[in-house]
Structure formats: C-alpha cells, structure tokens
Structure 1
C-alpha cells in the first residue's frame, strides 16, 4: 500500500503555457487539489521557490486548499530554510495546520539553486553560501523545537489581554504537527541526520552520486539508511518515507504529442550549481501503462517508500493533470499494489 500524492511546481509563464499568470496558477493549484481528492489522491504537494514565476510562500495556498477540501494531505517539497525565521515559520505553519484540521505535511530542507544569487540576503540574512548550509540545519532544529510547544517567552507584567501566569509559547499550538515534518535529503549522511532528529524523509528525483549504481538503487540505500538510523534513535512514532517520480502514461494522441519524444528516459549524471560532487537525476517514466507497470515494479526506492509523489506538468492546466492522475490511479497503481 502506498500513499499517492501529486507534486506541482505551480509555474506560470507567458509563452508555451496554458497557465500565464500568478492568479491563474494559484487558482488552478486549488482546483487541482479539489479534483485530486475526488479521485482518491492522498496528497497535494507544492514546490517552493523564491524570486520565480511559481509558488513562493506556501501557507496561503495551503490554507486555501484546506478550505475547499476535507481529506487530502497538503504538503510542501520543500520550504527552503535558508530564507526562514523559525519563529515566524512555526507560527504560520501551526495556524495553517489548525485551519486544515491537521493535514499539513511540511517538507523542509536546505533548498536548491534559486533564481538570484544569495537570495536569502534580501530577506535580511547576511551569510555566505558556505555559512548558510549549517545555519539552515540549525534553523530547522529550532523550528522543530518550537513545534513541541514548550513555554519559553517571559510574559509581560502588564499584558494587553488577561492570561494565565507563566511562560508563553507560540500560538495556535498544533500538538501533532512535529510528527509531520519532512527533511529533503540528497545523501545517505543527510538521511541519517534527518532520522536522528525525528523528521520524516523525502527524496526527490535527484540524489548525490555516491556509487555507480542506477538512481533508484542509490535512492533505496538512502531510505534504508534512514530506517536503520530511526530504529537506533528510538523515537516514539513511526516515520514515513517519500520518493518523487515523473510518470507520463501514454494512452491517447494528446499524451503522445506532449511526451512521446524528447523526454529524459535514462538516468543522467550532472552537477548542481552549489555542489562540488556530481548528482544523479532519475529518469522520466514515459510509455503505455503495461510498460510503466513493469518499469515501476522494478524500482527499489519505490518499494522502500510508503509515499510516492507524481510530478505534474502544471503549465498544461487542470484538465490535463486530472487526466494524468486518473490514468495513474486506474491503469497503473492497482497493478502495482499501491492502493
């Protein structure tokens, strides 16, 4: 059994896109979550990038989805901790979780290359790229600490409103949210670090190139390392593990027009802007359902994970993405035992 979600980048662009404005992108993100819930999709997840024509701060969008849905998980993949104040972030996320009735699944991490150089500096953080690596992790741990609800703030001797005596915490407090935080890991070492600190594990369509094995094998090793480290840490709740895949089934002429040619059908090795070490990018799964069932069934990382996110081409509009998700749910997922 798998939890199945979609992952959207929420792009808008003037050329070669059915989604041309921010207004349309946000509206259609809500619409897609509503339609996905109707067909049995478990999660609506969104990438977060700053200074880009796509989803930025996720919390208003998550709250809007919560108001229109009742069951679907609402997640991020991921919030870039280089830009975040952990106190303000904790307050925003807990409020969103209360509004959603505890459906937030918050992915956080160090982030990926952005559209501007050292963008966090415009947010008031005067650190170099090298300094911000460790600071991002420290902020994540402070954020986790705040979600525990321990009281820490000295009360005002003359508060504006009556309150009980004693130290104060951030409000509104959401007591289970701390168990629904995910760290985006790119290496085995990072996966182990996430387990040690009690965060669920999310792994994207790229990981550090740590061996000459296929992408899915290297990613599966990360998930196994995480699970082993979790057991050793002795946390009091069961973790979740998540992988992302680009799956494009070909069942009609429009699918064929969009995806039958020019797609990445093999793993590729390359370099990200801030990485000295190479990265391996997982292939796209493109083909007729029977072919995809065979290929996905051989994917070791999918077998290890309890949750799979399907990347959706958000610029193709709600109708096409509903078609894509329906096809996966009816023609592929049952044969793989995902539902």
Structure 2
C-alpha cells in the first residue's frame, strides 16, 4: 500500500503522544489461580516495558465476566507501584454498572498512590439485562431510560471528584459530628481535570464537550452514516473540539484515537495472529459493518508491513485531529508478541507521526 502522505504530516512542532490499550487477557472461568495471577503479572510487565520504551500512557479495558481484566483500578494500583512516569488510564469504565461514590473513592486513592498519574476514562456501557440484575444497576424507568441513569451517575461522580458537598449529617455518624459536610475522602486534587469520555457518535462526542471531558474515540463507531469509518470519526472529533472551544476557549483539547496496529517482521508473529485476525474480520464486511446488521462500524486492523501501516495512518482523517495515538493490542496474543508490537511501533511507525519518547 502506498499513499501520498505529503499533506498528512503532523503540524510542525506538535508532539503526538503515544499510548497502548491492553485487555490483560486470561482464560476466564477455566483459569487456575496460578495462571490468573501470572496473567496479571504479565500485564504489569507490559506496562513496565512500555514505560522503558517511552510510551506516554497505558490504558486498560474493563470487562465483566469475560476472560479479561474485571477490576482495572485495582490492577492499575499495582502497576503504579512498579512504574514511575507512565500515565495510567481506563478505556473505559462503564459507569452504568458502578456506584459513583465508591468509584470516586477508588479513583482518588489510585491517583494518590500513583503520584497523580491516573487518566480516568468513562463511558455509558452497553445495556445488558444480566449485568443490570447482578449489579442491581437497572434504571428506575427500565432499559429505555438507561442514558438518563448514566447521566445521573456521571453527575454524582463528577460532584464527588470536584470536591462538592455530597451530604450534610443530620446526626453524629461514627467519628463525625452532626452538621458535618461530607466530601470525597481522601481528595485527589487535579483528578477532575483528567477525566475522559469514550464517545462513539456525534451526539456523545458533543455531550463529552458540554460536560468538560477529554475525548476518547476507539475502534468502534456506534452510528452508521454511510461514510468511511475514519471520516465519520473525524467529524465527531471536530464537533467535539469546536464545541469545547466555544465553552472553554482557554483550554486545549485532549483527544485519543485508538487503532489496531500489528506490525511484524517475523513470519512467526504473523502466524500467531492469524486466528485473531480471522475472528476480527469475520465480524464485519469489507466496509466495517457488522454482519449482524447492527448500525455501527468497526475500524480496520492494520497488520504486517510497518511501512504500509504507516501509510494508512498518515491518511487517517481522525488521527490528524488527535493529541494521542493509542495502539490497541489484540485481545488474544502472547505477552511476548504484545511486547514486540509495542517496540516495533516505537521504531517504525510512531516517530514518523510526530511522536518522540517521553522523558
């Protein structure tokens, strides 16, 4: 693949940040305690290696009851004690299945443990009846009102992280006197300025701007307009930036764009990825539309020759709007392949896009 990239170079002087996204895979309910612990340790090792390579941010997903990381803040707390510079992020925590005050408490403690390195990424999360039952999180008016319930929980979370008074005691409680104003304890100064929202549509991108979030866009668009994936995603990002500039003119936008990048120079790396690539491609048609008929689109999985991947990224409209490129690692691959992927990106792709190793 060869494209004319002369007009797609990053602006002079702009440093593109580089992150990666890991699922921290295990084998789910079939995992022995020893193997589950090893998977978590492998995940910590990946973050340590990324810090050595100069990555800016390491992100993790939150998946309940699947063979992936189920408790991201606990995991990142452990990572924070084995790293010193790398920023630690969630991409994303589905707020509809969280108690907002408890989430704020956990996030605040993690931020303090990490020295202020938490980047807390949030989203609504997709509705699932079984999870609503298990987490007792169903909205009061049924599934149709789940967006309203998400906004209610987001509002409570934001109030807590911003240090607002959450309640006033009518009577003494434990060590606290009557009349005491309850606020997030301990507070985490600055964390409220490092909150992201995972958007997949124009409406959710604009809502993120109105609520003051930084913006995450991923490998999935949750709306189908007929436009190519990256074209529609670029429109979402531009709409977010335009509205944010109107609402907060003195604030510079932060936008992360995730792409599946699997460069490989060794035949065995390509062979290891074939099953996953077939699984990923089998979910969609050539335009990224799900074969199930759902109204959404997936991004391509760029794999193989690093130069071809670079050409594709240079022509990516959405990436031209980003402040951070996030390497989405395949959910099923060996720890060794994940480490080689991170290194190859730093050697053959990211520098040509305007990134330099973080210090």
Note whether the superposition's TM-score is higher than 0.5. Answer: yes
Are the aligned partners of 2:257 and 2:319 in contact in 1 as well (CA < 8 Å)?
Answer: yes
**What's the RMSD between the two structures over aligned residues?**
2.6
Q: Does 1:123 align with 2:135?
A: yes
User: 1:258-300 CA deviation, whole Å, 9 max, x = no partner?
Assistant: 346746395411278xxx9610111011121111111110001
Query: Equivalent residue of 1:118, what SS?
Result: helix
Partners of 1:118 and 1:129 within 8 A in 2: no
TM-score with structure 1 length normalisation? Answer: 0.89
| 1:47 and 1:76 in contact (8 A); partners too | yes
Aligned partners of 1:151 and 1:207: how far apart in 2?
Answer: 37
2:304, 2:201 → 1: CA distance?
29
Number of residue equivalences: 332
Contact 1:314 1:321 in 2 (8 A): no
Runs of at least 4 residues of structure 1 off by over 6 A?
162-165
Q: State the SS of the aligned residue for 1:4.
A: strand
Query: Is the Cα contact below 8 Å between 1:7 and 1:46 reproduced in 2?
Result: yes
Pick one of 286, 289, 293 that aligns with 2:306: 289
How far has the Cα of 1:255 moved from its partner?
2.2
Q: Which runs of 5+ in 2 are unaligned?
A: 1-14
| 2:349 is the alignment partner of 1:332 | yes
Aligned pairs for 1:51-130 within 5 A: 51-112=65-126, 117-127=129-139, 128-130=142-144
Aligned partner of 2:59 in structure 1 is 45
Structure 2 residue corresponding to 1:143, chosen from 157, 163, 181: 157
The unaligned stretches of length 5 or more in structure 1 are none
- Give the counterpart of 1:316 among 328, 333, 337: 333
C-alpha separation in 1, matches of 2:225 and 2:115:
42
Q: Judge conservation of contact 1:109–1:184 (CA < 8 Å) in 2.
A: yes
Aligned residue number for residue 289 of structure 2 = 269
TM norm structure 2: 0.85
Per the TM alignment, residue 111 of structure 1 is displaced from its structure 2 partner at its CA by: 1.3
Deviation sequence 1:179-238 (CA, Å, 0-9, x none): 111111111111001100101111110113443221111101100000011012126643
Give a deviation string over 1:23-51, Cα, whole Å, max 9, x none.
22211111110111011111111110112
Given that 1:268 and 1:281 are in contact with CA atoms closer than 8 Å, whether structure 2 keeps it comes out as yes
Q: Which residue of 1 aligns with 2:9?
A: none
Equivalent in the alignment of 1:204: 218
Counterpart selection for 1:303 from 320, 329, 346: 320
Distance 1:65 1:235 in 2: 35
